[in-house]
Structure 1
Amino acid sequence: MSHTPHGLAAEFPEFALKLSAMKEKDAHFAKLVAEYDAVNGKVHRAETRLELLSAAEEDVLRKQRAALKDHIWQHLKA
């Protein structure tokens, strides 16, 4: 299990089982989750200074992460 903050299971603990099931059944949803995880990892590396990005680049990544999270939430609550 990853220790990267803002993982989807931590963000939506009440939907942890549904997240897992939907990733297996829905290829589009699985792709969204993979994209979220990739962007979240980049944000984490930037925040911990493992990857140096400008403030503007970090902001773009955070906005992208938020948009993906919102999209995933729409799928989860349906």
Structure 2
Amino acid sequence: MSISDHALDIDFPQFKSRILDLRKNDPAFRQLSDDYDRLDKKIRGLEVRDVPTDDQHFSALKMERASLKDRLYQQLAKGA
């Protein structure tokens, strides 16, 4: 299984400066991106340590990460 870092600046390099700007100036974006980062690290940690978890739980975590990423992308793309 491939263990990829899904940090926003890696997945959306074209928005790197916008990510920094929004994290600095938009508390709601910063909170959402912090939540996303924590969840991504949790998922990667489970993958790296091969922690036993049922597929349904793991899939739910990944779906939540995808939902957060979609919300963040909408904010990034809105100002581009």
1:11 has 2:11 as partner: yes
Q: Which runs of 5+ in 2 are unaligned?
A: none
**Residue number in structure 2 paired with 1:48:** 48
Q: Which runs of 5+ in 1 are unaligned?
A: none
Normalising by structure 1, report the TM-score: 0.89
Normalising by structure 2, report the TM-score: 0.87
Runs of 4+ in 1 over 6 A off after TM superposition: none
The more displaced of 32-41 and 44-53 is 44-53
Bigger relative CO (Cα 8 Å, ≥ 6 apart): 2
- Distance in 2 (CA, whole Å) between partners of 1:65 and 1:71 is 10
**Residue number in structure 2 paired with 1:59:** 59
Residues 12-31 of structure 1 correspond to what in structure 2 (within 5 A)?
Answer: 12-31=12-31
- Distance in 2 (CA, whole Å) between partners of 1:18 and 1:54 is 37
Q: Please say which structure displays the higher CA radius of gyration.
A: 2
**Percent of aligned positions with the same letter in both sequences?**
28
Q: Work out the number of aligned pairs and report it.
A: 75
Shift of 1:50: 5.3
